Structure 1
């Protein structure tokens, strides 16, 4: 899509091949590099690099006593590693490597997997189980995702008959684990608002009111996690010493994650404009 033309009765999307499509509203679900976001607000921010590269693979190594229904997060001396047991044997893992230079997936993949594996094995050499998981991973098993990005707060979600949804409006870092979930939530809430609020402008405004606070809280939490993933060795060791105490006192799972994972939308409830 290259442009859009609005009238009081509808909006026409224009495409590079000359195609024009007219509808009542235009929903920009076109990702973190959204064209619709720039049409709504030419000054809207674009994605920012988090300072972390993403990798993942399957390892032949099995972590002793790792539960099959649990995902584990390990903040190592130099890098972060997440892992979980795989049915049939072995362990799936993903890691984030601090890197000053932002690399796209294509740029990162230009470096051979064997070279990245040498770097990863070196960074995780002092960590357990990271060291063993990397030893059990073949070079050709490595998946390279490039730089992880986050979308800063987008000031304007809608204008006229155009509105943003999903990563086009709110793309938290992958560290949140909530990108797809937030996109689905927003799609459902937008549909409810268009169903129940006759005026398009009011429907879009109500949708934003229902969503902005939640998505920005998730994004802020993900940004905090990113900073923890790139901590230096000293800060990592201090955190490791304090974490057992914290989890026994104020860092209870329900308090930390309940508001995120227990979010529910009542589809049948009518939406009342705010």
Structure 2
């Protein structure tokens, strides 16, 4: 970690008391999870859009846009930040809120920034940028551009990459190493990921036989670096509750009580980071404290083999 003038501030080698971390492409993670699910006999169908549900005393039926249906004991909405299941549980449920910045990334072939393999770098200052070296030798970076009025992903894509690069280069002028990374980024390698968003507190996580998990109920925004981790944690915790408690109502209630405080703490921290990136916090992005880096937020552990206590209901 460094500041925007190039002064190194801190260096971390793994997380104390935890195994070494491992980075992988999200597509590879998706592929591994899909292959494991199929190997376990899980049926996966693509291209079916949920439009409504029908509940009975004994189960729930999902109704899809093509008129087809599927029945089960419970319906778990893991359908992302624009969740259909969330609105079926509560038509007045909040939707995602804009964080005040647009996200961008890019690739640089030239050796213009220090980047040892296996190391991620953060540079704080009036603007923030992160980067690391890919196995093929190129450097991948990610950064944000403050914007008061949100643009949709489609609107961001309609603006030529050259224009975005011009704005980013202006934003990161005199930033080390942001200025050099952006100067050597070609328009055809620029990745515009669109508006950064997060989920505010969702009042109702479940209703009847419907329940939410992952980004559908607690997307903390990408600035937290915790969205995928929280989704996996919640999936494991929900599975434990369904396994150990007598019925779906008890399981859903225990699941929410075990998860809500943690995910809302991380979501609130992400919101504060977003305000700093958007220039709304009265100063530049602050260095994370050791407690933020190595405290209980990042040292969370779920014991799969432990039985969920009945008092969690």
* Equivalence for 1:225: 273
Measured against aligned partners, the alpha-carbon deviations of 1:173-192 in whole angstroms (never above 9, x if no partner) come to: 11011111111110111011
Render the CA deviation track for 1:58-96: whole Å, top value 9, x for unaligned: 11243554433322222343x321112233433210011
- Relative to structure 1, is the Cα distance of residues 126 and 268 closer, same or farther in structure 2, using a 3 angstrom cutoff? same
The question of whether the paired residues in 2 share the 8 Å contact of 1:57 and 1:94 is answered with yes
Q: Are 2:306 and 1:258 equivalent residues in the alignment?
A: no
**CA–CA distance in structure 2, aligned partners of residues 37 and 233 of structure 1:** 31
| Contiguous gaps of at least 5 residues in structure 2 | 1-49
CA RMSD of aligned residues (A): 1.9
Do 1:71 and 1:83's aligned partners in 2 also have CA atoms closer than 8 Å? yes
SS in 2 for 1:96: strand
TM-score (norm 2): 0.79
Instruction: Name the TM-score, length of structure 1 as normaliser.
Output: 0.90
**Equivalences for residues 69-84 of structure 1 within 5 A:** 69-77=118-126, 79-84=127-132
Matched, 1:99 2:136: no
1:3 matches 2:57: no
Structure 1 contact 76–124 (Cα < 8 Å) conserved: no
Q: Are 2:216 and 1:168 equivalent residues in the alignment?
A: yes
Query: Residue 105 of structure 1 contacts residue 147 of structure 1 at CA under 8 Å; is this kept in 2?
Result: yes
User: What is the aligned partner in structure 2 of residue 141 from structure 1?
Assistant: 189
Q: Is the 8 A contact 2:113 2:177 kept in 1?
A: no
CA contact (8 A) 1:50 1:147 kept: yes
**Which ranges of structure 1 fall in alignment gaps of 5 or more residues?**
none
Greater helix fraction, Structure 1 or Structure 2? 1
List structure 1 runs of 4+ shifted beyond 4 angstroms: none
Alignment partner of 1:15 is 2:34: no
Pairing partner for 1:27 from 76, 94, 101: 76
Aligned length: 262
Give the secondary structure class of the aligned counterpart of 1:67. coil
Aligned 1:31-50 pairs, distance under 5 A: 31-50=80-99
